[in-house]
């Protein structure tokens, strides 16, 4: 499966981290900045780079947003720059997915209004994380060691295709835990407006084509169920 | 045996006696240790006692006391006497002085002479007796067999005793004392004006027939009343010269009043933040297990808001006066200062009373420095630090941080998790952040709980609308699974365990479910425990 092609704007500490994570998962990444020094650093770290004046729409168009590029990361350390880039990209390409970071709660609604699909307030999340370490040390430790760590446990979305063996079964009926080493966290029902239904709540939901199973488990188990569910 | 030896022997017995030390320690805590909780109750009791006894005195002026009131007065005086003697006792350890002198004598191989030693002891005690607060204490007791009327005024010294039991009163006095120079100037100016005006008015009107100034004291009294702008009007100048003096006096009086008011106001304004901090520190003194938050930036604000919502005790330290003001406006305890200063950390109680320190400023150097200082001051402290650059993570760990959080790392992780599976990401983050009602939570298995010793397959989690995420187990003795066992710091996390795993004491269930479901399940388990205990 060819991996999504990603463009990262702004090469700063957050961008370094994002790019490194993404590279470890085999995405195609291009780093864009208008500062040659930063680009040189990025090249030194082994990334593909492009120098571009991102304030200029004509130059942005050259990237092939939405066509060649499916995801845009706007990771500037300045909220105003992020808002400007998000709004420019959104104007050029309505379908591209945009991920950006905010430095303070006030910038979040602005970035969403500008058209970002996902805004992460880094400082807020850091704050929550600190309190989680205090409040729920065990849970935090488990997740750090499994889902977010190096251990072989990840989350996945597995779409239900037409003619899949699970079609027509209810969530209650399918005992994934026995046949696979997987936990079904919930499902997304495309027909009901992309609602997320936790598996603890929607026992009687009948699976059909287009639903997406949200699973947690070891990678090979996820691959196995993907294959088994394919018609 | 000589009397000197008797004394030394007695002192040595005292020194070795644990009950004696314990009793003395108790009273020392009660009377002198501001950190001891019992002192607060004692202070409150004494304040009430003083107020009641003063009230009784006032009542006594026009009424005759009943027997029970007299008894109460005797009781109050008795308490004051006992308190005075106890304070005298715990002021220092006399037996140590004697022992020290004795040891010095035996070291130098000279004869131990009890006379000078006892003199030394008395001198130390005299230092207590002659201290201002002790004099007030004594004056509050002495006039209680009031043979002379004038002595009654000293009974008001009981009110001064209140200073002993309230901290803010002392603080206020020290603030005004700081403006000593201004007050001296004012007093000098005032005495000059008073002297000049009272002599002038006395010169003009003292010998006048029908005049109101009978003696010089009247003149001074009139000047004072006029200067202070009170102006009773019981003594008034009758001549025009006298009225001119009065006018001049009134004008300088307004100046004096304005000047003294401004001194007091400015003194308080300058020290207001200090006073507030003193109060914050005073409150901290009585707390235990609180969190010290160094840095009230964006991260700090999020942390503080959540801690405040959980009603967990904390204190904020920040260098930036503006941020401190923000925190104070919201009603959070905050201290303005550099967290890198050891003195401030010590004042904040890092050494013993704080349970954890969060070094979460935006400056890596400060974070490392505070981490290392805090770790040195208290090895049992939980230290969580923030790294703003990747290279600092290891430095913070070396400096002694238990956990290092890095905003850029979290953002990176979230970005890369989001990219492939936005829906799963949202769902799982919803669970983790507790934004929705579905949460991930732990549930310990106790010995005697009705699930303890059962197979996982026997517990119908689905019936409780719960999802078993895994089990934390102390041992890895359970048949090693296909790859579901993940090591934690001192135990193991067993992801998605099969139904034939038996739950043991101290295992912890990790469950996903609605808040209410988890609550219900927890309660059911507790009831189950009760059943087992009864049968």
Residue A12 has pLDDT above 90, yes or no: no
Token reading at B379? 């090895």
The residue of chain B nearest to residue A3, with distances taken between CA atoms, is: B420
| Nearest Cα to Cα of residue B135 among B159, B174, B161 | B161
Would you say the pTM of this structure is higher than 0.95? no
Beta-carbon contacts of B182 under 8 Å, excluding residues fewer than 6 positions away, are: B263
Work out the average pLDDT over B118-147: 81
The residue of chain A nearest to residue B493, with distances taken between CA atoms, is: A142
**From CA B4, how far away is CA A216, in angstroms rounded?**
83
Coil, strand or helix at B203: helix
How far does the CA of residue A30 sit from the closest CA of chain B (Å)? 15
Give the bridge partners for B314, in sequence order.
B291
Asked if the Cβ–Cβ distance from A126 to B410 is below 8 Å, we say yes
| Nearest Cα to Cα of residue A5 among A23, A30, A28, A26 | A28
Residue B61 CA neighbour count, 13 Å, CB half: 8
Task: Answer left, alpha or beta for residue B434, where phi above 0 means left and psi between -120 and 50 means alpha.
Answer: left
Q: Residues of A with CB below 8 A from B496's CB?
A: 177, 181-183, 217
The phi and psi torsions of B209 (rounded to 5 degrees) equal -70, 135
**From CA B87, how far away is CA B81, in angstroms rounded?**
10
Asked if the Cβ–Cβ distance from A13 to B388 is below 8 Å, we say yes
Residue-wise pLDDT tens digits, A137-191: 888 877 777 766 666 777 778 887 777 777 777 776 776 666 778 888 888 777 6
What is the pLDDT, as a whole number, of residue B533?
41
Coil, strand or helix at A138: helix
The phi and psi torsions of B494 (rounded to 5 degrees) equal -105, 105
Q: Which residue is associated with the tokens 């004072």?
A: B224
**From CA A118, how far away is CA B423, in angstroms rounded?**
11
**From CA A76, how far away is CA A100, in angstroms rounded?**
8
Indicate the residue of A75, A134, A142 with minimum beta-carbon distance to B510: A142
**From CA B65, how far away is CA B62, in angstroms rounded?**
9
Weakest mean pLDDT among B340-354, B369-383, B452-466: B452-466
Contact B119, B101 (CB under 8 A): no
The CA–CA distances, whole Å, from B2 to A30, B13, B105, B111, B112 equal: 97, 17, 16, 12, 11
As a dihedral over the C-alpha atoms of residue A172, residue A174, residue A175, residue A181, rounded to 10 degrees, the angle is -130
Residue-wise pLDDT tens digits, B200-217: 999 888 888 777 888 899
Asked if the Cβ–Cβ distance from B512 to A196 is below 8 Å, we say no
Coil, strand or helix at B382: strand
Residue A60 burial (CB < 10 Å; 0-12/13-18/19+)? buried
Contact B4, B113 (CB under 8 A): yes
What is the pLDDT, as a whole number, of residue A200?
75
Count CB neighbours of B372 within 10 A: 19
Asked if the Cβ–Cβ distance from A196 to B427 is below 8 Å, we say yes
Residue-wise pLDDT tens digits, A121-143: 888 888 888 888 888 888 887 77
- Banded model confidence at residue B534, pLDDT cuts 50, 70, 90: very low
Tell me what ipTM this predicted complex has: 0.76
Q: Are strands B354-359 and B290-294 parallel, antiparallel or unpaired?
A: parallel
| Nearest Cα to Cα of residue A175 among B498, B47, B376 | B498
**From CA A2, how far away is CA B319, in angstroms rounded?**
51
| Nearest Cα to Cα of residue B384 among B402, B367, B397, B398 | B402
Q: Residues of A with CB below 8 A from B409's CB?
A: 17
Please tell me what DSSP assigns to residue A206: B
Residue A65 has pLDDT above 90, yes or no: no
Residue-wise pLDDT tens digits, B414-430: 777 777 677 777 777 77
Token reading at B66? 């009943």
CB < 8 Å & 24+ apart, contacts of A32-37:
A32/A7, A32/A8, A32/A63, A33/A9, A35/A11
**From CA A115, how far away is CA A91, in angstroms rounded?**
9
Mean pLDDT of all residues in chain B?
Answer: 82
Question: Strand ranges (DSSP E) for A66-176?
Answer: 71-74, 97-102, 118-121, 154-159
**From CA A155, how far away is CA A177, in angstroms rounded?**
15
Indicate the residue of A18, A129, A141 with minimum beta-carbon distance to B415: A18
The residue of chain B nearest to residue A25, with distances taken between CA atoms, is: B416
Residue-wise pLDDT tens digits, B75-88: 888 888 898 899 88
Stated as kind and residue range, the H or E segment containing B286 is none
Q: Which residue is associated with the tokens 């193991």?
A: B492
Q: Which residue is associated with the tokens 């009131």?
A: B69
Asked if the Cβ–Cβ distance from B438 to A218 is below 8 Å, we say no
Residue B532 has pLDDT above 50, yes or no: no
HEC-encoded secondary structure of B7-36: HHHHHHHHHHCHHHHHHHHHHHHHHCCCCC
Give the bridge partners for B472, in sequence order.
B493, B508
**From CA A228, how far away is CA B212, in angstroms rounded?**
116
Asked if the Cβ–Cβ distance from A142 to B493 is below 8 Å, we say yes
What is the pLDDT, as a whole number, of residue B475?
61
**From CA B1, how far away is CA B10, in angstroms rounded?**
13
Asked if the Cβ–Cβ distance from A128 to B462 is below 8 Å, we say no
Token reading at B448? 């005697």
- Banded model confidence at residue B530, pLDDT cuts 50, 70, 90: very low
Please tell me what DSSP assigns to residue B143: G
């Amino acid at each position: 499966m060819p991996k999504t092609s990603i463009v990262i704007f702004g090469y700063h500490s957050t961008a370094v981290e994002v790019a490194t994570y993404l590279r470890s998962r085999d995405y195609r990444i291009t780093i864009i900045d208008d500062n040659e020094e930063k680009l040189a650093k990025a090249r030194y770290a082994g990334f593909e780079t492009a120098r571009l004046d991102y304030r200029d729409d004509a130059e942005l168009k050259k990237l092939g947003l939405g066509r060649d590029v499916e995801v845009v990361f706007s990771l500037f350390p300045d909220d105003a720059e992020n808002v400007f880039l998000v709004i420019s990209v959104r104007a050029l390409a309505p379908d591209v997915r945009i991920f950006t970071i905010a430095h303070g709660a006030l910038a979040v609604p602005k970035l969403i209004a500008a058209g970002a699909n996902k805004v992460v307030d880094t400082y807020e999340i850091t704050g929550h994380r600190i309190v989680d370490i205090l409040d729920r040390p065990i849970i935090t430790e488990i997740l750090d060691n499994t889902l977010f760590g190096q251990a072989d446990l990840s989350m996945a979305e597995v779409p239900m295709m037409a003619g899949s063996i699970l079609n027509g079964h209810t969530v209650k009926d399918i005992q994934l835990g026995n046949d696979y080493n997987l936990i079904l966290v919930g499902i997304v029902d495309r027909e009901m407006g992309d609602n997320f239904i936790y598996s603890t709540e929607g026992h009687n939901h009948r699976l059909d084509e287009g639903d997406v199973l949200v699973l947690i488990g070891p990678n090979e188990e996820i691959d196995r169920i993907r294959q088994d569910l394919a018609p | 045996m000589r009397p000197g030896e008797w004394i030394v022997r007695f002192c040595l017995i005292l020194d070795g006696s644990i009950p004696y030390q314990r009793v003395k320690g108790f009273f020392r805590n009660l009377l002198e240790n501001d950190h001891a909780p019992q002192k607060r109750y004692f202070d409150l009791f004494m304040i009430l006692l003083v107020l009641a006894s003063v009230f009784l005195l006032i009542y006594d002026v026009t009424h005759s006391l009943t027997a029970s009131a007299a008894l109460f007065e005797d009781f109050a005086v008795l308490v004051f006497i006992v308190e005075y003697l106890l304070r005298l006792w715990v002021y220092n350890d006399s037996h140590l002085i004697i022992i020290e002198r004795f040891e010095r004598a035996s070291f130098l191989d000279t004869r131990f002479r009890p006379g000078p030693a006892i003199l030394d002891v008395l001198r130390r005690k005299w230092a207590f007796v002659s201290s201002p607060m002790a004099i007030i204490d004594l004056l509050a007791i002495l006039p209680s067999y009031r043979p002379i009327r004038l002595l009654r005024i000293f009974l008001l010294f009981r009110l001064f005793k209140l200073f002993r039991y309230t901290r803010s009163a002392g603080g206020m006095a020290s603030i005004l004392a700081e403006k000593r120079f201004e007050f001296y100037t004012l007093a000098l100016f005032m005495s000059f004006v008073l002297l000049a005006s009272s002599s002038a008015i006395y010169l003009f009107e003292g010998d006048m027939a029908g005049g109101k100034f009978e003696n010089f004291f009247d003149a001074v009294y009139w000047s004072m009343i006029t200067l202070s702008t009170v102006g009773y009007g019981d003594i008034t100048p009758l001549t025009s010269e006298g009225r001119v003096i009065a006018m001049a006096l009134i004008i300088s009086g307004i100046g004096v009043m304005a000047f003294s008011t401004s001194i007091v106001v400015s003194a308080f304004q300058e020290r207001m933040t200090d006073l507030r901090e003193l109060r914050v520190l005073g409150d901290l003194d009585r707390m235990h297990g609180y969190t010290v938050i160094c840095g009230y930036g964006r991260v700090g604000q999020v942390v503080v808001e959540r801690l405040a919502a959980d009603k967990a005790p904390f204190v904020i330290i920040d260098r930036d006066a503006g941020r401190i003001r923000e925190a104070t406006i919201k009603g959070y305890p905050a201290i303005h200062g550099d967290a890198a200063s050891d003195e401030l950390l010590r004042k904040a109680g890092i050494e013993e009373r704080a349970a954890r320190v969060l070094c979460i400023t935006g400056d890596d150097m400060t974070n490392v420095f505070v981490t290392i200082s805090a770790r040195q001051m208290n090895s049992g402290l939980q230290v969580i630090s923030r790294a703003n650059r990747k290279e600092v993570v290891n430095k913070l760990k070396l400096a002694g941080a238990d956990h290092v959080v890095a905003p850029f790392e979290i953002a990176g992780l979230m970005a890369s998790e989001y990219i492939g599976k936005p829906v799963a990401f949202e769902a799982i983050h919803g669970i983790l952040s507790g934004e929705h009602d579905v949460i991930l939570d732990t549930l310990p298995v106790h010995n005697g709980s009705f699930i303890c010793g059962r197979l996982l397959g026997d517990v119908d989690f689905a019936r409780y609308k719960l999802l078993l995420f895994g089990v934390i187990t102390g041992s890895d003795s359970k048949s090693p699974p296909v790859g579901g066992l993940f090591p934690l710091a001192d135990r193991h996390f067993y992801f998605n365990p099969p139904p034939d795993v038996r739950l043991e004491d101290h295992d912890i269930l990790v469950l996903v479910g609605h808040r209410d479901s988890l609550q219900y399940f927890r309660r059911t388990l507790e009831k189950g425990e009760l059943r087992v205990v009864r049968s």
